[in-house]
Amino acid sequence: MVATTVDIFTSLWSIFSTLGVLVGVVVMSYMVYLIVKNRAKPEKPEPEDTPRPGELPREQKGAKKLLISVVLSASIVITLISLTFIALDNLDRPPADALEVKVVAFQWGWKFIYPNGYESVGELRIPRGTAVKLYVTSQDVFHNIGIIDLRLKVDAIPGKTNIGWTRVYETGVYDIRCFELCGDGHGVMIGKLIVMDPGEFNSWYSSLQVS
């Protein structure tokens, strides 16, 4: 099976979250350790270099320690970015055999226009296993079409067409929601994505009456 948008996101997400949690835990544990260890106790004397009233600021030397830490975090971050660019290449390269559907967002709903000219409001039907490429625009304000379960999101901007794609290997129904505040109906701007068995899809698609 070819990677889907879900696969691409999930693998990247798990790397980021693992490293993120790791770094967070290490740094915070170290901080808590220092605080507990160095808490002021009556028997503990003041450090020798405590800044005295009226002194100009001094600093603790430590360029080396800091450099090592920053190089370490830089290497983590650069790794993450390289992985991001690889994932991005895959996301930006929609499969060639895709079913192409035009999406027009409006206050407050979605219109889907199929290659044969058939228009449907609120409901997008696609066949299982075939890539689907969405050409997304808006007829009024800035929206964002999101099918979060498929990890797919595209800005819908008036006067502009943006492209997104996905491929689903299981039949089912998914929520389509708007992810950019677009007015009073933003919260209820919900559509349905219906992934059908290819055979059923074909018979449905060929039965459409296009005016």
* Residues in 37-56 that interact with other proteins by CB under 8 A: 38-40, 44-47, 49-56
Structure tokens at 149: 């379960």
CB 140 within 8 A of CB 158: yes
> Which residues between 94 and 133 bind other proteins (CB under 8 A)?
107
Q: Give the separation between CA 137 and CA 157, rounded to whole angstroms.
A: 5
> Which residues between 133 and 172 bind other proteins (CB under 8 A)?
140-142, 144, 146, 148-149, 151-155, 157-163
Does 81 help bind other proteins (rule: CB under 8 A)?
yes
CB nearer other proteins, residue 100 or residue 149: 149
> Which residues between 54 and 73 bind other proteins (CB under 8 A)?
54-63, 65-66, 69-70, 73
- Closest approach, Cβ 160 to other proteins, in A, equals 6
**Those residues with Cβ within 8 angstroms of residue 98's Cβ, 6 or more apart along the chain or in another chain:** 130, 131, 132, 133, 165
Structure tokens at 118: 């058939």
> Which residues between 187 and 206 bind other proteins (CB under 8 A)?
187-188
Does 185 help bind other proteins (rule: CB under 8 A)?
yes
CB nearer other proteins, residue 162 or residue 171: 162
Polymer length of the chain = 211
Beta bridge partners of 140: none
CB nearer other proteins, residue 1 or residue 37: 37
Q: What distance, in Å, lies between the first and last C-alpha atoms of the chain?
A: 37
CA 196 to chain centre: 25
- Closest approach, Cβ 148 to other proteins, in A, equals 5
CB nearer other proteins, residue 34 or residue 121: 34
Q: Give the separation between CA 165 and CA 153, rounded to whole angstroms.
A: 9
- Closest approach, Cβ 30 to other proteins, in A, equals 7
